[in-house]
Amino acid sequence: AYIEPSASSASELVTEILEQSLPLGALPKEEADLLLAGILLDTNQFTRNTGVRTFSAALYLRGEGANPADVRMLFRTNLDEFMREAKFESNVVIYRDIIAIAMRDGEEASANDRVAAAKAADKLLSVGGVMASFALVRLDDTIHISARSQGDINVQLILEKLEGGGHFDVAGAQIRGSSMVQTLNRLKKAIDDYLQTLI
């Protein structure tokens, strides 16, 4: 068992183990690429939860043949995924001046829209003044919520009030048997309660 709470990702932990256990040049390039992709994904391109050990792991993977250009190709999306994300980005409200909330309550939503919701929540953090973002999508009778934070707002605590969970800056929840309006109102109440504790 290897537990390291300060690690950016499981890929970083695996990389550290491999660095100590494999001779130099023994890690196949494809595996090095995938591990680097995992680190890039979990750190949002080295902008979140990074430390000296994160960059050390990336340096080791680069030395083992990981190619950033090849890794970037793994993150390319097709047109369908792009359009799914755009549907979230065209329905955004800013709440309390610092919270972005995107919603999709379409009849043709599918499991791929859960991934699009997570990506949309990530992208919304690039909007000026937004400190946290939430993306909501209905699939059948369940509303899925993906939440992201710049690090100043604990989205885990907010979504715990909706029976969700996760981490300080990445969290999620599933609300069954509730309308989008009801869920949105519950989310706003949870945000209000959380922000009240910061005052």
In the chain, % of residues over pLDDT 90 = 64
> Does residue 2 carry a pLDDT above 80?
no
Q: Cβ(133)–Cβ(102) under 8 Å?
A: yes
What digits encode the pLDDT tens for the residues 29-79? 999 999 999 999 888 888 878 899 999 999 999 999 999 999 999 888 778
pLDDT average, residue stretch 127-135: 95
Inter-CA distances, 64 with 5, 40, 51, 53, 92, Å:
25, 16, 20, 16, 42
> Does residue 110 carry a pLDDT above 80?
no
| pLDDT of amino acid 107 | 64
| pLDDT of amino acid 99 | 97
Rounded to an integer, what distance in angstroms lies between the CA atom of residue 16 and that of residue 39? 12
> For residues 112 and 103, which has the higher predicted lDDT (pLDDT)?
103
> For residues 81 and 59, which has the higher predicted lDDT (pLDDT)?
59
> Does residue 1 carry a pLDDT above 90?
no
| pLDDT of amino acid 136 | 95
Residue-by-residue DSSP string for 15-79: HHHHHHHS-TT-S-HHHHHHHHHHHHHHTTTTTSS--HHHHHHHHHHHHTT--HHHHHHHT---H
| pLDDT of amino acid 192 | 96
In the chain, % of residues over pLDDT 70 = 98
pLDDT average, residue stretch 139-146: 92
pLDDT average, residue stretch 83-112: 84
DSSP-assigned beta bridge partners for residue 100: 94, 133
pLDDT average, residue stretch 131-153: 93
Give the three-class secondary structure for 179: coil
The predicted model scores a pTM of 0.76
Question: Residues, the chain, total?
Answer: 199
Query: Would you tell me how many other CB atoms lie within 10 Å of the CB of residue 129?
Result: 9
Look at the block and give the residue holding tokens 């599933």: 174
Using 50, 70 and 90 to split pLDDT, how confident is the model at 87? Answer: confident
Using 50, 70 and 90 to split pLDDT, how confident is the model at 195? Answer: very high
